[in-house]
Amino acid sequence: MSVVDEFTRFLFDVGVREGQHLLVHAAFRRTRAAFPGISIEGMLDGLEHLVTPRGSVIILAFSYCFKRVSGKYTIFSRDRTPAVIEAVSEVFRSQPSVIRTSSPTHSFSFWGKAAVEIGPHN
């Protein structure tokens, strides 16, 4: 059994099922410690495989692009500004089947049913 299969089995054992909508806030170091050898991509594949496109995976994509009165600040681009909260967030946000909300400070990325319902112009 592969490490991704083990991770997916763990998710199933704790109650994750097809068609559910999951809000994920993951600490990859902890996940990798529990499932040695798993990659971020493998973790995301396991989540998406189990939930299926009938459900949704939702992950924070915070960029904290606050506008300041003076000094430099980052101009937010929904498609290009990296998610800075965690490595899982940035890898997930970058997937072609994932859409991101337009909040310059506290955005979320969606895959699956929620992404389809929100659409590319949220």
Label residue 86 by pLDDT band (50, 70, 90): confident
pLDDT in tens, 34-47: 999 999 999 999 99
Phi then psi for residue 41, to 5 deg, are -60, -40
Q: Are 58 and 24 in contact (CB under 8 A)?
A: yes
Taking the whole predicted model, whether its pTM rises above 0.85 is answered as: yes
Domain ranges of the chain: 3-118
Residues whose CB falls within 8 Å of the CB of residue 15, separated by 6 or more in sequence, listed in order? none
Residues whose CB falls within 8 Å of the CB of residue 39, separated by 6 or more in sequence, listed in order? none
Q: Mean pLDDT highest for which of 6-10, 63-67, 78-82? A: 6-10
